[in-house]
Structure 1
C-alpha cells in the first residue's frame, strides 16, 4: 500500500500511512524496505520533520542497511542539512554508487559545486563506477563553475562508460557547454545523438537563445528533421525570445500564432516571453494588451513590461509600473531594481536614482552585481564620478560589464587617464579584457580626442589579447578618427576593413562629418548608408541635420518625409548611435 501511494504521487498520504503503521505495529513499520519507502515519501512531500523522527527510530534500533542509510543521506541533502548528510554518509557501511551520488548531488544542489567534484574524485579513488545520475550531477557542477576543462574531462568519462545515449546525461552536457559559452560544442553533442526527443530539442534551442544565437535557435526550430516533434510550453517561449533578440516583429507574431494553436497560452513563461518580444519590437500596445490579460502577474511579467517601456523611451511609465507592482503586494527582485535604475539613467534623473540607491541598500540588493552595475551607469550618466567610483570600490564581485561601465564613465567625462587607470587596475586583478571592455576604452579615447591612444588599444586587441576586432570595434575606431577631424584617415580605414562596413561604421563617419561640417565626405557616407537601407531613425535624423546645416532643405525634407512613410520615430533618451554617448 505504501509503495502504491508513492507511485501514485500521494506522498503526504504515504507519510501519514507510515505514521499509522508505527502506532499499530512498529515492527513492520521499521523493516528496512518499509523505512526506505517512508523516507522517499518524506523527501517528495518535503516532510523532513517526520524524516528526522525516522532517523531517530533507525538509531534506536541499532542501525539499518545501506539502502536505508542512502535514503537518509538523500533526505538530509534535499533538506539542505549537508552537515548531517555527511555524518550519515560517513557511517554507511558499504558505500555504493547510490551513496556517493546522493552525497555529491546533494552538495551540488545546495550550491557547493566544488565539494561535489571533490566527492566525485574520492568516489573514483574508492573504485566505484559512476552511474548516469552521477555523471549528470557532476556535469551540472561544471556548468555552475563554468569549468570547461573539468567538463571536457567528464565528457570523456561519459563516452568511456557508454552514457552518451542517455538523454538526461546529454541534456547535462548541452547545459555544461552552453554555460561555458561553448555553444558550438553543445551543438556537436546534439548532432551526435542517435535520437532526439522534445526535451533535448528544446534544450538546444534554449541554449542558443541564452547564448544570444537567435538565428541558430530559429534554424533548429524550423529544421525539417525535427518536424515530427510538437513544440511544448518550454519550446515556444525560447523561440519567441529568439524573435525578440532579432527585433523581428513579423516572426514573433507567427510564433505567437503557433503558440495559440498548440494551446500554450496558459503558460506564464509563454505570456511573459510575448510581453518581452512585443516590447522589444516596439509594439507596446500588443505588449500591454497581453500584460493586462494576465490575471495573476508574476514579477517576470512586470519586469518585462518595465524594461519594454524604458527601451521605447517611456522611462516614466516604467517607474510608474514599479510602484504599481509594489502596491499590488509583489516584492521587486534584482531585475526589477535594475529596470527602475535604468529608467532613471534614461531620464538622467539623479534625484530619483538616488532614492533607488537607498532602496537597494534597505532591501539588501547591493550584493547583486547587476544592481551595482546599473548604479554605476546612473552616476556615470549624471556625471557623479565620485559616487560611481565609491560603488565600484565597494564591489566584491566584478564582471566585464562592470569594468566597462567604469572605464566608460571616465571616458564620458573626458578623463582618459581615469579610463586607462581602471583598465590597468583590471589587468592587475588578472582579469582578461574582452570585447566589451575594448568597446568602452575605445569610446573613451573617442570622447577625449586621443587618436594615438585609440590606435594603440585597437592594435593591441589582436596583438596582445588575441581578440579579433568586431564590427563594433571598427565603428569605435572610425568614431575616434572622425570625431578628431581625421576624416580622410577614417575613410581610408573604412576602405581597408577586412569586411564590408556596416551601418554603424558609416554612421560614426557621418557623425564626424556633421561635427566638422564636411559635407563632401558626409555625402559619401550618406550614399553608403542609403545602400545599406538603414531603418534606424538616429542615422536618418543625422543625415537630415547634415543637409540642414548646409541649407540643403529639399534633401533634408526628403529624408524626413521618407522617415514618416516608414514609421520611423526618433525616441527620446539614448541615441542608438552606439558611440555618441556624450
Structure 2
C-alpha cells in the first residue's frame, strides 16, 4: 500500500510541475498515463484548465470527478471567472456545498476586474460571511480604480480595514501617485509601517512624473535595492529631458539591462543626431527585436539616409506592419522604391495607404495619387488632404476646389491649403472668398490670406488683415510677408519702418524682420539707421547676425563710394566666408579688387549714436 501511495505521490508531483509550466494539454497527457488517480490528481487537472479559461474541458473534468473537495469547487468557480461567465460563477457559488474565504474572494476579484462595482459592493456588504484583509484590499483596489473616487472616499475605506497590511498601504500610495499628488504620496510613504520594492518604485515614479529630478535622484539613491524598473525609470527620466550625458552615465552603471534600456539610449542618440553612436548601440544590442530594428530604420529615414534604412529593413529577421510603414516613410523621397515595397507588403493598413498616397502627392505625380486614392479600401481626412495637395501642386485649382467641396469632412488644413495655393497663383480675390467661407480660422489661415495679398502687391489690404489677426503676439510669418513686400516696393518704404516699429513695441522680432528692414534701408540710403539696426540685432534682441544680415549691410555700405573700403573690411571680418554675392556688391568691377588689402576700421563695430529708428 505504501508503495502505491509513494508512486501516486510521485505522479502527482510530476503532474503539478507540468501544470505550473502552463500547458494544460501536457497535464492531460500525463494524467492519462497515470496508473491511478487521487482527488489531488483530478484537482490538478481541473485547475490547469481553469487557469486557461477552458470552461468546457474544466466542466467535463469536474463532472467526471468521483469525489470533490473544496479545492475542486473553488477551481471550477475560478474556471467560470476566467471564462468571463460571472453570472454562472455567481450561481455556482450559491450551490456550492462548501465555501471558504477564497471562494468569495475569487468572485470579488472578478467584479473588481470587470469594474462591476455595484455587485462588488453588494457582495462585500451583504453576503460575505467574513472578511479578511484580502477582501478589504480587493474593495479598496476597486474603489481606487474608479476615476471619480475622491480622497475622502478612499481614505474612509482605507481606515475601515481592521488589519491593514503592506498591500493596503501600497494601494493608497499608488492612488495618490496616479493623480500626481507628490506631497500626499510622500506623506503616505513616510507613514507606512513597512515598505517593499513596490512602495519605493511608486514613489520614484511619482517624482519622475512630477518632473522633480533632484527628488527622484534622492529617492533612487535611498532605495534599499534597485530593480530593472527603477533603473529604466531613471534612464527614461534623463532621456525625456534630452540629457544624453546623464542618460549614458545611468546606462553604464546599470547592473543589467533589458531591451527597454538599450532602446531608450539608442533612440536618444538618434534624436540627438548621433547616428554613428546610435548604430554602435544598435549593433551591441543583445537579441535585437523588431521594435529596435524599426527604430533604427526610422532614425535613418529621419536623417534622409534611405539606403541605410533599407539595408536595416532587409536585414531584419522578421517584419511587422509598423516596420513596413517606417521603411515606406524612409523611402518616401523615392517613388519607385516606395511603390516596389508597397506592392510587396503582405498586409496594409490605412496608414500604409496614406504613406503611398502622400509620397505620390509630394512628388507631383497627380495621376498615380488619384489611382492610389481610388484603390484605397478606406479613406480618412489625411487621405483627402493628400489628394488635395496633389491637385494644388499641379495648380489644378478647379479640381482642387471641387475636391474640397466633395470632402466628407473638412479641417483647417484643407481650407488653408487651397487659400495659400490661390495666393501663390495671383488669385487673391478667390483666396479671400474662400477665407471668408471658413467656419473657423487659426493663425496659419490668417497668415495664408495675408501672404496672398502681400505677395501679389495688395499691401494695404494685407496690412488691414494683419491688424485684424485675433492673436497676440502678432504672427511673425505674416508680418515678414508684409515687411518683405514693403521693403521692395519704393512706394511703401515708409510702411516698412512703421511696421517694424510696431513689431518692436510688442517684442515680436526675428532675424527675417531685420533682413527686410535692412533691405528697406538699402533702397532709401539710410546708412546710419542700417548701422543702428545691425547692432540692435545682438544688443537689443539677443539674436546672432546671419550671413544674410551681413550681406544686406555690405550692400547698404557699398552704395556709398566713400564707405566701400569699410565694406571690404567688414566682408573680411564677418564670421562667414564671403562669396560672389558679397564681393559683387562691393567691387562692382574687377578694378576694385585692389581694395582687398585695406585695413579694417575698428570704429565700425562701435555702437552708433543713433538710438531711435526713424523713417526720415
Same fold, judged at TM 0.5 (above)? yes
Give the greater-gyration-radius structure (CA).
Answer: 2
1:60 Cα deviation from its structure 2 partner: 4.6
Sort the Cα spacing of 1:303 and 1:456 in 2 relative to 1 into closer, same or farther, 3 A.
same
For the Cα contact (< 8 Å) 2:46–2:76, is it kept in 1? yes
**Equivalent in the alignment of 1:58:** 62
Sort the Cα spacing of 1:324 and 1:7 in 2 relative to 1 into closer, same or farther, 3 A.
same
Give the secondary structure class of the aligned counterpart of 2:288: coil
Q: TM-score, normalised by structure 2?
A: 0.57
Sort the Cα spacing of 1:65 and 1:224 in 2 relative to 1 into closer, same or farther, 3 A.
closer
1:393 Cα deviation from its structure 2 partner: 7.4
1:240 Cα deviation from its structure 2 partner: 2.6
Matches within 5 A, 1:182-221: 184-185=180-181, 188-194=184-190, 197-203=196-202, 205=204, 215-216=211-212, 218-221=213-216
For the Cα contact (< 8 Å) 1:341–1:375, is it kept in 2? yes
**Equivalent in the alignment of 1:173:** 175
Give the secondary structure class of the aligned counterpart of 1:449: helix
Out of 122, 125, 137, the residue aligned to residue 119 of structure 2 is 122
1:123 Cα deviation from its structure 2 partner: 1.7
1:305 Cα deviation from its structure 2 partner: 1.7
Partner Cα distance (1:323, 1:42) in 2: 42
Q: Kindly provide the CA deviation profile for residues 363-390 of structure 1, in whole angstroms up to 9, marking residues without a partner as x.
A: 2433x7xx79978986886688996995
Q: Kindly provide the CA deviation profile for residues 493-515 of structure 1, in whole angstroms up to 9, marking residues without a partner as x.
A: 237xxxxxxxxxx6xx2234345
For the Cα contact (< 8 Å) 1:545–1:556, is it kept in 2? no
1:545 aligns with 2:545: no
**Equivalent in the alignment of 2:20:** 11
Q: TM-score, normalised by structure 1?
A: 0.60
| Count of residues paired in the alignment | 452
For the Cα contact (< 8 Å) 1:76–1:85, is it kept in 2? yes
1:391 aligns with 2:391: no
Out of 337, 341, 347, the residue aligned to residue 363 of structure 1 is 347
1:288 Cα deviation from its structure 2 partner: 0.8
Q: Kindly provide the CA deviation profile for residues 135-187 of structure 1, in whole angstroms up to 9, marking residues without a partner as x.
A: 446756x5xxxxx435878745654555795365257536754xxxxxx3366
For the Cα contact (< 8 Å) 2:301–2:331, is it kept in 1? no
Give the secondary structure class of the aligned counterpart of 2:554: coil
Matches within 5 A, 1:405-420: 407-408=412-413, 411=416, 414-415=419-420
1:298 Cα deviation from its structure 2 partner: 0.4
Sort the Cα spacing of 1:530 and 1:491 in 2 relative to 1 into closer, same or farther, 3 A.
closer
In structure 2, runs of 5+ residues without a counterpart are 1-8, 126-130, 385-409, 421-430, 452-462, 484-498, 521-529, 556-567, 578-616
Q: Kindly provide the CA deviation profile for residues 321-358 of structure 1, in whole angstroms up to 9, marking residues without a partner as x.
A: 33432xx2x22243x3553354356x4x5665667777
1:254 aligns with 2:249: yes
For the Cα contact (< 8 Å) 1:276–1:304, is it kept in 2? yes
**Equivalent in the alignment of 1:28:** 39
1:318 aligns with 2:309: yes
Q: Identify which of structures 1 and 2 has the higher relative contact order when contacts are C-alpha pairs closer than 8 Å and 6+ apart.
A: 1
**Equivalent in the alignment of 2:580:** none
1:442 aligns with 2:438: no
Is the deviation greater in 233-242 or in 189-198?
189-198
1:264 Cα deviation from its structure 2 partner: 1.4
Give the secondary structure class of the aligned counterpart of 1:282: coil
Sort the Cα spacing of 1:235 and 1:41 in 2 relative to 1 into closer, same or farther, 3 A.
same
In structure 1, runs of 5+ residues without a counterpart are 109-115, 143-147, 178-183, 396-404, 425-437, 460-473, 496-505, 532-539, 562-582
Sort the Cα spacing of 1:522 and 1:547 in 2 relative to 1 into closer, same or farther, 3 A.
same
**What is the CA RMSD across the aligned residues, in angstroms?**
5.1
1:7 Cα deviation from its structure 2 partner: 9.5
